[in-house]
Amino acid sequence: MSENNHSITVNETAATAPAAIVKNSKPAKSRVGLWLAIIILLTLAGACTMLLWQQHKVLINAQTALAAERDESETQRKVLAAKLENDFANQEQQFQSDLTELAQRQESTAVRVQALSNISRDDWKLTEVSYLLRMANQRILLEHETANALALAESANSVLSELDSADLFSARKKLTEEIQALKMVTKVDREGIYLQLLALTQQIDNLPLIEPLIAEDEEALDSSDEAIVTTVWGKITNFGKHTLHKLGRYVRVRDQGRRVDAILPPEDQMYLKQNLRLMLEQAQTGLLREEQLVYQASLDKAQNWIRDYYPLNEQAEIVLNDLDQLKKNIVQQALPDFSGSAALMKDYIAQKDKLAIARHGVH
């Protein structure tokens, strides 16, 4: 019995042992899962905390940038407001200054008109003298014309003599000196020189150029052949002439008394005549513009072309002599003007107007 009981007890013990192990393994697994859950929760919490911190940092940075922009905008607004206020103040000050100046001008003009309304006959004569001198200066400086300028200046001097004012002595003295200086200037007959150049230009086509001698020799030879040669000596003479004529095609001797350039073909002769006309027209332009160098150079070039390409016959000599005479003309002149007397008259009239205005209370 005891042995049986002992075996039963051992079997029961052996049977209950695995159950105890099973019961003890379940709490161990549950604790590992709990720790895993805690770790996951902590990780999630840390990630959320980090994300929230980054968003908070971004928000703080955005707020800082917004505050800086707001401060900068406020600063710019204040600067712009100050500038606008300053500009407005300056414009208002300028406007007030312009109004004051305009009022002063209006008052001065009114008093001046009142003062000038009492212009006497002498004042009109003074104005006439000033106008005549300006016109005389215009004739000299712009048109280089002395006759009309001298007539205008003498008319102004005549008006000054009618005024009989001692204050005008210096102006009249200066005007008399300028009139005398203008009278002493040698007059240049520009119209006559221009017409002479024009006549020479029209005669260019009538000047014969240096021509080849072949045509002349052929004509002479043909004329000599017209006579009937019957003698032996005549036949020998004609044979000699023909032989010399053939040789003359290659060797030519002609005394021009100077160096002769190559004979020009007909098309180049046309260009030469055209260029010669242009040189004479250029001399006319230099004459009218009072350009002495252009005038002289154009005539020199025309003479050189005539000497080089035209035979020195009577017609060419006449043209060359005419060009020599034209080259002696002085086309550029320094004419005295009436600026001195005109300035004195202007100063006198201005001083007279100031005295008249001062008497009427204009400051």
Dist. CA 28–CA 26, nearest whole Å? 5
End-to-end Cα distance, the chain: 161
Confidence at residue 235, expressed as pLDDT on a 0 to 100 scale = 62
Q: What is the mean pLDDT of the chain?
A: 77
Here the tokens at position 250 are 């290659």
pLDDT band per the 50, 70, 90 thresholds, residue 213: very low
pLDDT at 105: 84
- Summarised one tens digit per residue, pLDDT across range 108-118 is 777 666 655 65
Residue 8, pLDDT score = 43
What is the per-residue pLDDT for 285? 92
Predicted local confidence at residue 104, as pLDDT: 84
CA quadruple 101, 107, 113, 114: dihedral, nearest 10: -160
What per-residue confidence (pLDDT) applies to 294? 92
- Return the percentage of the chain with pLDDT > 70, whole number: 72
Q: How many whole angstroms from its chain centre is CA 7? A: 137
pLDDT score for 245: 54
Q: Is the pLDDT of residue 252 over 50?
A: no
Report the alpha-carbon distance of residue 302 to residue 283 in Å, rounded. 10
Predicted structure pTM score: 0.44
pLDDT value of position 256? 46
Secondary structure (3-state) at 64: helix
Compute the distance between CA of residue 128 and CA of residue 52 in angstroms, rounded to an integer: 100
The region of weakest confidence among 149-163, 198-212, 338-352 is: 198-212
Residue 257 DSSP code? S
DSSP state of 265: P
